[in-house]
Structure 1
């Protein structure tokens, strides 16, 4: 699991960070509210330890930004004894618990154990729901990595907010189209999902496709044509590869998004549309804006709640689930139901970096099913570039020992004492405890040795 400590006291970050790292947490720290929020948005921590008072803001003001669905952190407030009422008020606003400084690591362990159990149950529940979805298309969004769980939360949010434009960003083959379909399906709109690839048509043809044209509007316009915006009424219009859209069409798209009105090519009457907008691209839109290839005003209009689709190499825990899903669905479609992947073949799949993302994995599984003569996919059915991929660095856990909590605390106290040259006042300050408490702990340690 991942944890983030937001506290301006180095001693608190040091002692709590050591304890969490010994517990196996992936850890980041921040001394200010602004740095903490920035890290939380990128790191997506499971748990945040948040100080009530920070140099640039109050912890209560930062709390709502950490518990929003796109981050979804469990927040533990840290406060002084005189602020218990304030901490309780924070819990009513979304905090999971609070710790009074100076805190006991045993108390921290109890709080963490309860939160960890909750997160574990939620993850298992989410995995089950994804694996056994009744919709095959929806099931292709399977995965229980934190990044995919965040996307599932955002899909649910955007399905409820029909007027907000959706921008889906990610590498080619990462599943942007599936996310667009999932948002449309969960929105329960009465109209259809109308898709268009912005890169495959010229300016004139793209304008006619989007807005339609009147009879006689140009040489080949022998009849009136209804555009995609009209077809998508009461539904969703999905612009794939929106980064490739010509600038002239971008200006007209922006006007439609702002006014909800457009005109057919050659027409004079305004047509109203309520189609929901979704766009997707694998391009760097800010860079295109900087180069003048994408309108800045359109970028900010659609960049309200972007959904970043992670590449498969950052979701290595999901590779097994996706591979088994494709073996099942493709095997049935190809008349080879009941197939499985051998452990040795799966090893090759897991260690590969997948530059083509989910699409490449699906193609590799389809090829393996074709080559397999029996009901098991073996290493020889996997392409050579996957089999020749370098092995990841292996760290053996043999001999690893789980230490008792009091032992970790004792080792850390000794570590800080050495760092301060056995200066008791400085050691107590770094540990976030009083000097008298330090002497009591040292006395217990000495008694245990005797």
Structure 2
């Protein structure tokens, strides 16, 4: 039975959670203050923690910081709050929290998350001690789960991996993270299958012997051989010509290849990591991708969610990109202001992490002092135009109501559904008076 420490000061919610967790098979130790909870978490036997951020004596964040200072291994910890913000989530996840939930709380979601954490019931390692901040993939729960998956995948170096996700999510970044965990001293070779001419891709992948074709003046090893015992990253595998897919399948299955113009087999020691932003299953159904190759390269699959689905990473990545830019260009050290943060969180980021990075690079270059210039001139002009149109429409509406009500303030305000004070302020702002009545 998994033992959960619940730290919640609300009596009604606490009793409800204890009852539900007990029915679901958890052993619950309920504490109502931060200090009592801290004492319980320091005891042995507790496997999971659920902490309310707002406690009567100290915040859940402060409690967690004290816990970190007092022990090396962190328990998998979920936070619950009625005042959740992205900034709070970023701070908690940076500290090492497993996840957070906002009130009104969905008990089913809480149970699901606790069961998922209980499945890996070993104490959560302090990621910051093992992976530098620069090497981390993100602080969102989704990216932390991917990092944990990479640790397991690194122990099986001969099994192919497929990384899927929209363009710009960082598929090569994840592939390099796997390489660092598996074989940091061995080569990492990356090839974009969509960027190579179809006439050259076979020689690029498998190499060729001298005289194999016109212009082949010497033997050249392909990328499989160049990768040695490291990692070969084939990006945009969905764009590989169908004719080459059968040969790639043979290499993956036999772990041997034959150079173009050669007869002797060459052993392949590299791990194959493929990536695509396309739906390979749909390509298989359409006859554009071999079904047998599809199942062979996706023995292990990592799906990277788009940036819009992990907002916790947006500000974390932004701070990281700003720090990197400032390190390269000390006279262009910028910082995020509150308005910048909100603007970043409001963007859909169709280009994902790549778009975010380019946006911040431009904002740093065009900024002044410590201030960024996040919005482009076109965007600023469009927003100004929209604001002007909105204000012109509002002014016309108020003027029409004033004329209709013969400039009687109380009746006009009632007609517009605003207070007399607000009406007066808007009239002053738009310069409205009886002289505006042209009729």
Q: Does 1:142 align with 2:138?
A: yes
The residue number in structure 1 matching 2:346 is 351
Q: Which runs of 5+ in 1 are unaligned?
A: 1-17, 24-47, 50-75, 80-96, 391-450
The residue number in structure 2 matching 1:439 is none
**How many residues of Structure 1 are paired with residues of Structure 2 in the alignment?**
297
Q: Matched residues in 2 for 1:294 and 1:170: separation? A: 18
Select 1:225's aligned residue among 220, 223, 235.
Answer: 220
Give runs of ≥4 in structure 1 deviating > 4 Å: 109-114, 121-125, 127-133, 378-383, 385-390
Query: Do the aligned partners of residues 382 and 116 (structure 1) sit closer, same or farther apart at CA in structure 2, a change above 3 Å counting?
Result: farther
Query: Do the aligned partners of residues 381 and 248 (structure 1) sit closer, same or farther apart at CA in structure 2, a change above 3 Å counting?
Result: closer
The residue number in structure 2 matching 1:116 is 50
Superposition deviation, residue 203 in structure 1:
3.4
TM-score of the superposed pair, with normalisation by structure 2: 0.60
Instruction: Summarize deviations over 1:203-248 as a string: whole Å, max 9, x none.
Output: 3311111111111111111111111111111111000111101112
Q: Matched residues in 1 for 2:381 and 2:164: separation? A: 27
Helix, strand or coil at the partner of 1:328: helix
Superposition deviation, residue 355 in structure 1:
0.5
Select 1:360's aligned residue among 349, 355, 369.
Answer: 355
Select 2:251's aligned residue among 248, 251, 256.
Answer: 256
Contact 1:212 1:265 in 2 (8 A): yes
Instruction: Summarize deviations over 1:233-282 as a string: whole Å, max 9, x none.
Output: 11110001111011121111111111011100010101111101100010
Q: Does 1:154 align with 2:149?
A: yes
Q: Matched residues in 1 for 2:170 and 2:381: separation? A: 21
Query: Do the aligned partners of residues 379 and 283 (structure 1) sit closer, same or farther apart at CA in structure 2, a change above 3 Å counting?
Result: closer
Q: Matched residues in 1 for 2:365 and 2:329: separation? A: 8
Query: Do the aligned partners of residues 299 and 347 (structure 1) sit closer, same or farther apart at CA in structure 2, a change above 3 Å counting?
Result: same
Instruction: Summarize deviations over 1:109-130 as a string: whole Å, max 9, x none.
Output: 9999952144338945447846
Q: Matched residues in 2 for 1:236 and 1:156: separation? A: 15
Select 2:286's aligned residue among 284, 291, 294.
Answer: 291
Larger Rg: 2
The residue number in structure 2 matching 1:443 is none
Helix, strand or coil at the partner of 1:341: coil
Q: Matched residues in 2 for 1:123 and 1:227: separation? A: 42
The residue number in structure 2 matching 1:238 is 233
Q: Which runs of 5+ in 2 are unaligned?
A: 1-11, 52-74, 79-91, 98-125, 387-439
Query: Do the aligned partners of residues 249 and 114 (structure 1) sit closer, same or farther apart at CA in structure 2, a change above 3 Å counting?
Result: closer
Query: Do the aligned partners of residues 98 and 363 (structure 1) sit closer, same or farther apart at CA in structure 2, a change above 3 Å counting?
Result: same
Contact 1:368 1:382 in 2 (8 A): no
Contact 1:213 1:265 in 2 (8 A): yes
Superposition deviation, residue 381 in structure 1:
6.5
- Higher RCO structure, 1 or 2 (CA under 8 Å, sep 6+): 1
